[in-house]
Amino acid sequence: MNVHDSEKMLGILEEEGFVSTPHPREADLIIFNTCSIRQKAEQKFFSELGRIKSYKRFNPLLRIAVAGCIAQQEGKAIFKRAPYVDFVFGPQNILSLRHFVSDGRSSVATEENPGIAEEVLPVRRSPGISAWVTIMYGCNNFCSYCVVPYTRGRERSRPSEHILSEVSALSEQGFGEITLLGQNVNSYKSDVGFPELLGRLDRIGGIKRIRFVTSHPKDLSPGLINAIAELPKVCEHIHLPLQSGSTRILTKMNRRYSFEEYLEKVNALRARIPDIAITTDIIAGFPGETSDDHKSTLRALSEIEFDGIFAFMFSPRPRTKAAGMRGHLPEETRTGRLLEILSLQDSITERKNASLQGSVMQVLAEGPAESGNGNLTGRTRTNKIVDFTAHEKMAGQQLKVAILRGRKHSLEGKIVD
Ligand code: 5AD
Ligand code: SF4
């Protein structure tokens, strides 16, 4: 989401006559687009910011802006901590960048912005195969550990006609794949709901694949399962954050589903779409998590066999309920549990990837491979990375690739005539 927000900032700057440089020392404007989902991201940002301060000595015209969730969270306190910062704007106020660069005064833009979904922002995407498209902003869920509802504000869906015309334009520019973005895409609601939006996007010529992130399990509807099953361009992959395998912890997290309910959704997905890939997010060491709760999470991973997970150590965030809960666990315990989760999942992913050896999969070629196991890289519809050997000019095409080897984090293949 932040990467795409940066593309919006680039779009605005381009309209204002800016060009980008790979050399920060040459820049007249440096924007930090920050993340505050966990403490580590925040610490990293403040140390980077300190490093860039000296650039002002080399270039007195340099202006420094802080954007994103830390900007929203800290507001003008950032000026106190770093007086050399010129402008602070949150994720709901990206458009204010335009006023800042034209009038140049130091200021803060962190107001709630209910109108954000109606704004049509210019987007500067790097040329490529795949494009992000925002369909909704904000989140209403208030999971007890999460800072997002405080930084990105309430849920607002973009009008479907704005999304449709953006995707039509992307198709004309040659993008083959779009990924729809929202904190909780299942609660997209304008004149149409999410499954119907997918149906309309599916009819746009030129687009080969449609993906979306993220889905909240409580809102995963039979209508969406049908849409994934029936719409040819909608890929067979869903990112469905579980967070914990213990219903007791899920309740404390305010997730509003039990582990059993989650499992029912997984079973419904797999019954209707047998090849679907399911990935998830897990938080290790939530306050009050006992070793039994942790074991329930490990059991859940073994039972469900996700295609991949993102796992994180619990990190207390300002204003969230969990930060004030009793039973915070020492870092050692959280790290130990995280490592157990990751190592169990590694063996599951490896086994799942190995089981694909010998199959033929449809791969959308994206560009040159980095791994050296082939010269091109692409993804299967189930979002698995495949490195394979083919002519470089095939980037952008959908190809049939025979899987020769399943590795830990990717597959290796050979193009089939
Ligand atoms: N601590 C650890 N992980 C978190 N996430 C969100 N907030 C926190 C936090 N305070 C994780 C969740 C979410 C993902 C995007 O980040 O797993 O799904
Ligand atoms: Fe955070 Fe929960 Fe909203 Fe996801 S659904 S952004 S975890 S509050």
Indicate if the pLDDT at residue 170 is higher than 80: yes
Work out the angle at residue 225's Cα, subtended by the Cα atoms of residues 222 and 228, and round it to the nearest 5 degrees. 150
Counting ligand 2 atoms within 8 A of each CB, the residue from 136, 145, 146 with the most, and so the one to mutate, is: 146
Indicate if the pLDDT at residue 149 is higher than 70: yes
Six token digits for residue 79: 């000026």
Q: Where do we find the tokens 């605005």?
A: 12
Six token digits for residue 312: 């994180």
* DSSP letter string, 149-164: HHHH-S-EEPPHHHHH
Indicate if the pLDDT at residue 198 is higher than 70: yes
> Most confidently modeled of 103-117, 304-318, 369-383?
304-318
Indicate if the pLDDT at residue 62 is higher than 80: yes
Higher pLDDT, 184 or 389: 184
Indicate if the pLDDT at residue 373 is higher than 80: no
Indicate if the pLDDT at residue 103 is higher than 90: no
**Averaged pLDDT of the chain:** 95
C-alpha dihedral over 193, 195, 199, 205, to 10 degrees? 100
Indicate if the pLDDT at residue 372 is higher than 70: no
Taking each continuous run of H as one helix and of E as one strand, the counts in the chain are 14, 17
Counting ligand 1 atoms within 8 A of each CB, the residue from 37, 141, 150 with the most, and so the one to mutate, is: 37
Indicate if the pLDDT at residue 371 is higher than 90: no
Indicate if the pLDDT at residue 259 is higher than 70: yes
Indicate if the pLDDT at residue 246 is higher than 90: yes
Indicate if the pLDDT at residue 164 is higher than 90: yes
The pLDDT of residue 40 is 92
- Please tell me the residue having the least CA distance from ligand 1 atom 9: 315
- Please tell me the residue having the least CA distance from ligand 2 atom 5: 141
The percentage of residues in the chain with a pLDDT greater than 90, rounded to a whole number, is: 91
The pLDDT of residue 266 is 98
What does the alpha-carbon distance between residue 321 and residue 307 come to, in Å, rounded to a whole number?
31
**pTM attached to this predicted model:** 0.96
Q: Relative to the alpha carbon of 321, which ligand is closest? A: 1
Indicate if the pLDDT at residue 106 is higher than 80: no
Of 316, 326, 230, whose CA–CA distance to 273 is shortest? 230
What does the alpha-carbon distance between residue 151 and residue 147 come to, in Å, rounded to a whole number?
6
Q: Relative to the alpha carbon of 219, which ligand is closest? A: 2
How close is the Cα of 254 to the center of ligand 2, in Å? 10
Q: Is the separation of the CB atoms in 140 and 149 below 8 Å?
A: yes
The percentage of residues in the chain with a pLDDT greater than 70, rounded to a whole number, is: 99
The pLDDT of residue 203 is 98
